[in-house]
Structure 1
Amino acid sequence: MFKVPDMSVWIGREDSLEGDLGARWHQQVSAWHEGAEPGVALFGFPCEQGVARNLGRIGAKVGPLAIRRALASHAWHMTKPVYDAGDIRCDDCDLESAQQQLGDCVKRLLEEQQFPVVMGGGHEVAYGSWQGLNLFAREQVKLPVIGIINFDAHFDLRAYEQVGSSGTPFKQIADQCSAQNTPFHYCCFGVAQSANTQALFKRADALDVSYRLDEQMGVACLTEAKQQLAAFIKECDWLYLTIDLDVLPAAVAPGVSAPAARGVELEVIEALIIDIKASGKLKLADIAELNPQLDIDQHTARTAARLLGLIAR
């Protein structure tokens, strides 16, 4: 299931004169192994098959490598171990098998009491990530209510026929929840009206999705956003946080398939992440849609690394 991670990417600046307090991530991250002390397990999903199917701009499969490289020299402020658990690749275009493998790995990490943080890849990563949490949840004595929180310019609730894409993961999850008779709790913050058709808004309403438009996500609206998020969290036992980097303004995150014309400021996203973590319910997180080929001076990669560091703390 797990492959040996390439630890050679964890290199960076060393402040040897500062002693232990001068440590950076590349000096602390170790390869995950069975029986490891509970901590944070980073996992890559270098896949862009869903983006290609969605007719988006490809290049996201290099995202996990770029995030690792950007994170390597971050100053170390963690109080728990961090592991690199390797990657699940999708080089043969068989997205469905890759998503299933990702789900199996996420489930295994959860069984090992790790907090998985998955690095995409396109947002098709969400269906694989959720499958792992869903499988783990169904093993519990009492089935927990899972809430999905998505920071995204898009609902990603598109209709699909035989196969999914980066635009369909939450419709696929809703369909699977219906098939297994479990509730579908979905919250999407940062939705751009111009990027979502009337059909998608109608589907979101039919599925009782809790959402806020990007224009309702300014700093002046933060109190209302936090209240809406708190009400959603209250209904859930476990939380799965997924971040599509195209929710951010294009100046902050240019390296994505679909840069935002407006977007949501980083300080708002960070404030909401802090609330999610404070709930004590967060079981799984992922970050999607970093496309290093379209990035400018590593702006998007550095932002993704900053968000990952905040989530992991």
Structure 2
Amino acid sequence: MTEIPLEPPPAWTGRVDGATQEHLRWHQAVTPLGNESHSCACVFIGFASDEGVARNNGRRGAAAGPDSLRGALSSMAIAEPIHACDAGTVMVTDDQLEAGQQALGSTVAATLDAGRFPVVLGGGHELAYGTYLGLAQSSARHPGLRIGILNLDAHFDLRADPIATSGTQFRQIIEREQAAGTTLQYSVLGISQPSNTAALFETARSLGVHYLLDDDCSVTDRHRVAVFVSDFLSDADLVHLTIDLDVLPASVAPAVSDPAAYGVPLETIQFVCDAIAASGKLAVCDVAELNPTYDVDNRTARTAARLIHRIVTKRIPPPTLSSPAAH
């Protein structure tokens, strides 16, 4: 399998109100990985791929997502001093999806082994398999520690297709864990019944997947959502939070492969992200399916960037990952 090197990160640019801490914006806080003079609160890693989406019969364009997310985050103001790094981007060509996932996994594992928090910017949701590989292969996964994957998504992504797509990744993960004789907890919040066949619901049940329908995730369902998240956290030691932006209503996130006819309110998604970030268990995070071609006034990119902003600034590191480099 051909090794895919990371492309250097683009320059982060944006509005400048001043150079002191009270004027700080993200573009002033991010430096290329390896050039930093301070420790990194997080490391951004781009995954420029829409091959998995195309294989899953979705519309191409998500490969441009990483730079769009960087651009949307750049001018957001930071309330407290923070330093972050950018490792660059895994560029995936049409025939190199599997190699790209392996390259992403290696980068995520190296980031975790350095005591840092990887935030993967997608790219199609096939990136979740690469993010998982990094966590599973890193020294953070001590024997006895159980990985929990919380997927904020309208879809299960448990298809049994003969090749990897943006709809197979969580089945691949579960099967890899089973082959290794280990287990993980896979939970999905925001499942759309009309977007998943009865066969996929049966697959989810047979694999022990926990899920909450989008019908049960309204703002008035806050207690139900809180219990779902609490139950998930009680079954996990290290959390992989993966956000497919099609979990949001199309009015909030139009720029995705499969816009939602209903979706989960942004208030609910933000509540869940805040709870996971503050849990002391969040090890890795990825954001997927931004397709800038179809965005309206950067609406989807700005929404995703706000979620990333809150996750990074509110995160309490897991004790197993705490180190001087992680703060």
Q: What TM-score bracket applies, with the shorter chain setting the length?
A: over 0.9
Q: CA deviation at 1:91?
A: 2.0
Q: CA deviation at 1:311?
A: 1.1
**Counterpart in 1 of 2:62?**
60
- For residues 309 and 154 of structure 1, what CA distance do their matches in structure 2 show? 24
Paired residues for 1:191-230 under 5 Å = 191-230=191-230
3-state secondary structure, aligned to 2:138: helix
**Counterpart in 1 of 2:255?**
255
Given residue 116 of structure 1, which amino acid in structure 2 is its aligned partner?
P
Listed one character per residue, the Cα deviations across residues 91-137 of structure 1 (whole Å, up to 9, x for unaligned) are 25210000000000000000011100000100000001000000015
- For residues 62 and 240 of structure 1, what CA distance do their matches in structure 2 show? 23
Q: CA deviation at 1:185?
A: 0.8
- For residues 311 and 2 of structure 1, what CA distance do their matches in structure 2 show? 27
Question: Percent identity between the aligned chains?
Answer: 44
**Counterpart in 2 of 1:33?**
34
- For residues 79 and 10 of structure 2, what CA distance do their matches in structure 1 show? 20
- For residues 140 and 27 of structure 2, what CA distance do their matches in structure 1 show? 36
- For residues 285 and 279 of structure 2, what CA distance do their matches in structure 1 show? 14
Q: CA deviation at 1:189?
A: 0.3
- For residues 230 and 30 of structure 2, what CA distance do their matches in structure 1 show? 33
- For residues 209 and 94 of structure 2, what CA distance do their matches in structure 1 show? 34
Paired residues for 1:85-96 under 5 Å = 85-96=87-98
For the Cα contact (< 8 Å) 1:189–1:214, is it kept in 2?
yes
Q: CA deviation at 1:7?
A: 3.7
For the Cα contact (< 8 Å) 2:42–2:118, is it kept in 1?
yes
3-state secondary structure, aligned to 1:241: strand
3-state secondary structure, aligned to 2:303: helix
Given residue 5 of structure 1, which amino acid in structure 2 is its aligned partner?
P
- For residues 240 and 79 of structure 1, what CA distance do their matches in structure 2 show? 25
Given residue 100 of structure 2, which amino acid in structure 1 is its aligned partner?
A
The range that moved more, 82-91 or 32-41, is 32-41
Q: Does 1:245 align with 2:248?
A: no
The range that moved more, 130-139 or 147-156, is 130-139
TM-score, normalized by length of structure 2?
0.91
For the Cα contact (< 8 Å) 2:148–2:239, is it kept in 1?
yes
> Structure 2 vs 1, CA of residues 4 and 261 (structure 1 numbering), >3 Å: closer, same or farther?
closer
For the Cα contact (< 8 Å) 2:66–2:123, is it kept in 1?
yes
Listed one character per residue, the Cα deviations across residues 25-80 of structure 1 (whole Å, up to 9, x for unaligned) are 11111111289624200010010010010010000000001000111100023544
Moved over 3 A (4+): 1-4
Q: Could you list the runs of 5+ residues in structure 1 that have no partner in the other structure?
A: none
3-state secondary structure, aligned to 2:76: coil
**Counterpart in 2 of 1:157?**
158
**Counterpart in 2 of 1:84?**
86
**Counterpart in 1 of 2:117?**
115
For the Cα contact (< 8 Å) 1:61–1:122, is it kept in 2?
yes
Given residue 6 of structure 1, which amino acid in structure 2 is its aligned partner?
P
For the aligned residue pairs, the C-alpha RMSD in angstroms reads 1.6
**Counterpart in 2 of 1:103?**
105
Q: CA deviation at 1:143?
A: 3.5
For the Cα contact (< 8 Å) 1:290–1:300, is it kept in 2?
yes
TM-score, normalized by length of structure 1?
0.95
